[in-house]
Homo-oligomer: A and B are copies of this chain.
Amino acid sequence: MKIIRSVKEMQSYAVQQRAQGKTIGLVPTMGFLHQGHLSLLTQIRPKCDFLIVSIFVNPLQFGPAEDYDKYPRDIIRDEKLLSDSSCDILFYPAIDEMYPQGYATYIDVEKLSDKLCGKSRPGHFRGVVTVVAKLFTITQCNIACFGQKDGQQAAIIKKMTQDLNLPVEIVIAPIMREKDGLAMSSRNVYLIGEERQNALCLKKSLDMAANMVKEGKTDTRIIIRNMRKFIELVEGAKIDYIEAVDPDTLEAKTTVEGPTMFALAVFIGRTRLLDNRIITN
């Protein structure tokens, strides 16, 4: 596995490969890799002549009061995991490679970015979309893979790619879970003691929603009210939001007709966790 830290080197290498008709895959990450990330490689590996994994903790997508500084990092372990995987290139740029002095260009996906997580994290998706577009152009990828765990991010990146005519196929991989059902996330390491167990309430509330739909209930307000009641009983759990939305437009849905994404963000202690499930009646 080759490690590239320079934007210029990464791009000129990629441009060369593309000019030879090669197919390039990209898995963008913020590092501190887990099985969820590795499943993204597996998803697109068969379609690629070579596969790039980027590791970049993107300051632009963190608010001033958020966890940018303490976001978990372990590049030595990540390098080891990737060199044992099917990754060909680890792209690991420094901040000033990505945002040199005087950087001024930002991409917004309107409407979709203001919903769900966007309400409590203003500017977050502007940061995500901007860095993803940059990673696409730097790596010249034909295909890129993201996890469904960040369901809103997946919808926004698909929308940006379509709107800006980026010639990149976006693959969204299913949520990977720990044995007990907790959605894998780099932030799970923040969970202390009982919090780890309490964090299961996100997944359990989604299962509850799926069961209600299976029983014929389609009023999302009633389903969400039940999820909310369930989570409010869990020690140290504080709901940021629970919503039922169209998985592409993220518009709120009052009834479960066609694919409906139940998405939630819940603080367990001081750790904000996400989960979602697309449920069809």
Contacts and interface: CB of A to CB of B under 8 A. Distances in A.
Interface string A97-129: 000001111111111100000000000000001
A140 B166 CA distance: 10
B105 A160 contact: yes
Contact of A167 (B109, B112, B137): B137
Interface in A1-54: 7, 11, 15, 18-21
B165 A137 contact: yes
A215 interface: no
Interface of A: 7, 11, 15, 18-21, 102-112, 129, 133-134, 137-138, 140, 159-160, 163-167, 249
A211 to B, nearest CB: 33
A249 B18 CA distance: 33
Nearest to A248: B102
A21 to B, nearest CB: 5
A160 B110 CA distance: 19
A18 B21 CA distance: 8
B106 A112 contact: no
A134 B165 contact: yes
Given A18-B18, A18-B19, A19-B21, A164 B104 contact: no
Nearest to A104: B110
A20 B20 CA distance: 7
27 contacts: A15-B167, A18-B18, A18-B19, A19-B19, A20-B21, A102-B249, A103-B163, A104-B109, A104-B111, A105-B107, A105-B108, A105-B110, A105-B159, A105-B160, A105-B164, A106-B108, A106-B110, A107-B107, A107-B108, A107-B164, A108-B108, A133-B164, A134-B163, A134-B165, A137-B164, A137-B165, A138-B165
Contact of A165 (B7, B112, B165): B7
A47 to B, nearest CB: 16
Nearest to A166: B137
A133 B106 CA distance: 12
A137 B108 CA distance: 17
A127 B109 CA distance: 14
B11 A165 contact: yes
Nearest to A137: B165
A20 B163 CA distance: 26
A165 to B, nearest CB: 5
Contacts of A167: 11, 15, 137, 140
Contacts of A140: 167
Contacts of A166: 137
A163 B105 contact: yes
A279 to B, nearest CB: 24
A123 to B, nearest CB: 13
